[in-house]
C-alpha cells in the first residue's frame, strides 16, 4: 500500500472531493484525520470509510479552519491520534461569487481566511512533524484562478496566493525533506450536482469546455492524483500544479 503506516490530515474531508481523498488515503493504509465544519457529515464519513475499508484508521475533528488557533488544534489532534504527521492535504475552501464591483471585504475575508490563511497556518503548524520523516503537502488550486473566471475575484485571488505560497515553501522546505505540490480539480460534488439540475443549459455548456467530456469523480479521478502526490511515487516532484480537470486547462 502506498501510504502504509503514514498519517494524513485532510481539511474539508467530510464531503465532496475531501471525502474521496480521505477514503483513498485510508484504503492505501494511512491513518486519516478528517477536519471539517460539518459534524454530521464528518460522522457519516467516518462510518462510510470504516465500512468500506477493512481496518481503516480514521478520526474526525469538527473545526473551522478559518478560525484562529485551529491549525494548532488540528496538528495536536493528529499527533494525539496517530503519533505523527506525514501528509497535509489543504482541501477545504469556502467562497462566495459576485462581480468584482459587488465584491465585499467580507467575501475576501471568507475566501482568504478558509483558503489562503488556513493553508498557510496549517503548513507552518505541521512543518516540524512533516520534517521528521520527509513529508508531503498537497494544496488546492482552481481553473477559476488560473483563468481569472468572472464573478470569482476573492476565490481566484486566494487560489493563486496559495500557488505562490506553495512554490516558496517548495523551495525553502526541500532541504527539510518536505515536498509541496498542488492539484487543480474539476469534480462532481453534491453542490455541482444540485447546480447542474437548476442550471441545465449552463451545465451543458460547461461540459463542452472539458476535453474529456465529463466531470471528475472525487474518489476515482481526483483522489488518486492526491495519493500520487502524497506518496513516494512523486518523490522527485515539488512546486508543481497537477491539473485533474479532464484537460480543461493545459499548463505550459
Ligand atoms: N469541485 C470542483 O469542481 C472544484 C473545482 C476547482 C477547485 N476545487 C477545489 O477543490 C477543493 C474541494 O472542493 P469541493 O468541491 O469538494 O468542496 P465542497 O464545498 O464540496 O466541500 C468542502 C468541504 O469543506 C468543508 N468546509 C467548508 N468550509 C470549511 C471550514 N471553514 N472549515 C472546515 N471545513 C470546511 C465543507 O463542510 C465540505 O465538507 C477546494 O479547495 C475547491 O476550491 C473544486
In the reported structure, the alpha carbon of residue 11 is separated from the centroid of ligand 1 by a whole-number distance in angstroms of 9
In angstroms, the CA 22 to CA 14 distance is: 8
Question: Is residue 250 one of the residues assigned to a domain?
Answer: no
Per-residue pLDDT, averaged over 41-47, amounts to 98
Question: Is residue 249 one of the residues assigned to a domain?
Answer: no
Structural domain range at position 206: 7-244
Per-residue pLDDT, averaged over 89-93, amounts to 98
Question: Is residue 148 one of the residues assigned to a domain?
Answer: yes
Phi/psi of residue 234, nearest 5 degrees: -110, 30
How many other C-beta atoms can be found within 10 angstroms of the C-beta atom of residue 54?
A: 7
Q: Tell me: pLDDT of 168 over 90.
A: yes
Q: Tell me: pLDDT of 86 over 90.
A: yes
Distances (CA, A) of 94 to 107, 121, 139, 236: 10, 16, 14, 31
* Rounded (5°) CA angle 87-24-22: 60
Query: Is residue 183 within 8 Å of residue 242, measured between CB atoms?
Result: yes
Query: Is residue 155 within 8 Å of residue 213, measured between CB atoms?
Result: no
60-75 pLDDT, tens digit per residue, is 999 999 999 999 999 9
Protein residue whose Cα sits closest to atom 17 of ligand 1: 16
Q: What is the tally of structural domains in the chain?
A: 1
Whole-angstrom Cα Rg for the chain: 17
Per-residue pLDDT, averaged over 29-33, amounts to 98
Q: Tell me: pLDDT of 2 over 90.
A: yes
Ligand 1 close to Cβ of residue 3 (< 6 A): no
Q: To test the ligand 1 pocket, which listed residue (9, 12, 38, 152) has its Cβ within 8 A of the most ligand atoms?
A: 12
Question: Is residue 1 one of the residues assigned to a domain?
Answer: no
Question: Is residue 251 one of the residues assigned to a domain?
Answer: no
Question: Is residue 2 one of the residues assigned to a domain?
Answer: no
Q: Tell me: pLDDT of 195 over 90.
A: no
Question: Is residue 252 one of the residues assigned to a domain?
Answer: no
Protein residue whose Cα sits closest to atom 39 of ligand 1: 15
Residue of 120, 155, 203, 236 with catalytic role: 155
Question: Is residue 30 one of the residues assigned to a domain?
Answer: yes
Per-residue pLDDT, averaged over 177-191, amounts to 97
211-222 pLDDT, tens digit per residue, is 999 999 999 999
Query: Is residue 88 within 8 Å of residue 35, measured between CB atoms?
Result: no
Ligand 1 close to Cβ of residue 25 (< 6 A): no
**Ligand 1 closest atom vs CA 94:** 28
What is the domain-level CATH number for residue 223? Answer: 3.40.50.720
Residue 196 or residue 188, greater confidence: 188
Ligand 1 close to Cβ of residue 70 (< 6 A): no
Question: How confident is the prediction for the chain on average, in pLDDT?
Answer: 97
Phi/psi of residue 48, nearest 5 degrees: -60, -45
Per-residue pLDDT, averaged over 150-159, amounts to 97
| pLDDT at site 78 | 98
In the reported structure, the alpha carbon of residue 119 is separated from the centroid of ligand 1 by a whole-number distance in angstroms of 13
Amino acid at each position: 500500500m502506498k501510504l502504509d503506516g503514514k498519517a494524513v490530515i485532510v481539511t474539508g474531508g467530510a464531503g465532496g472531493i475531501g471525502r474521496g481523498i480521505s477514503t483513498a488515503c485510508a484504503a492505501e493504509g494511512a491513518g486519516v484525520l478528517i477536519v471539517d465544519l460539518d459534524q454530521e457529515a464528518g460522522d457519516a464519513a467516518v462510518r462510510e470509510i470504516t465500512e468500506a475499508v477493512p481496518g481503516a484508521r480514521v478520526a474526525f475533528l469538527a473545526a473551522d479552519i478559518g478560525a484562529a488557533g485551529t491549525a494548532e488544534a488540528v496538528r495536536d489532534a493528529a499527533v494525539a491520534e496517530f503519533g505523527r504527521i506525514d501528509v497535509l492535504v489543504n482541501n477545504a475552501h469556502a467562497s462566495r461569487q459576485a462581480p468584482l464591483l459587488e465584491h465585499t471585504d467580507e467575501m475576501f475575508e471568507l475566501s482568504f481566511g478558509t483558503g489562503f490563511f488556513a493553508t498557510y497556518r496549517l503548513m507552518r503548524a505541521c512543518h516540524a512533524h512533516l520534517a521528521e520523516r520527509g513529508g508531503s503537502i498537497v494544496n488546492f488550486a482552481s481553473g477559476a484562478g488560473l483563468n481569472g473566471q468572472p464573478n470569482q475575484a476573492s476565490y481566484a485571488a486566494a487560489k493563486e496566493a496559495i500557488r505562490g505560497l506553495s512554490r516558496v515553501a517548495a523551495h525553502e522546505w526541500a532541504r527539510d525533506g518536505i515536498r509541496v505540490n498542488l492539484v487543480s480539480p474539476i469534480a462532481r460534488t453534491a453542490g455541482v450536482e444540485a447546480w447542474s439540475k437548476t442550471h441545465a443549459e449552463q451545465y451543458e455548456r460547461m461540459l463542452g469546455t472539458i476535453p474529456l467530456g465529463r466531470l471528475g469523480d472525487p474518489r476515482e479521478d481526483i483522489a488518486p492524483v492526491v495519493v500520487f502526490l502524497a506518496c513516494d511515487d512523486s518523490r522527485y516532484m515539488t512546486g508543481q500544479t497537477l491539473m485533474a480537470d479532464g484537460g480543461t486547462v493545459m499548463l505550459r
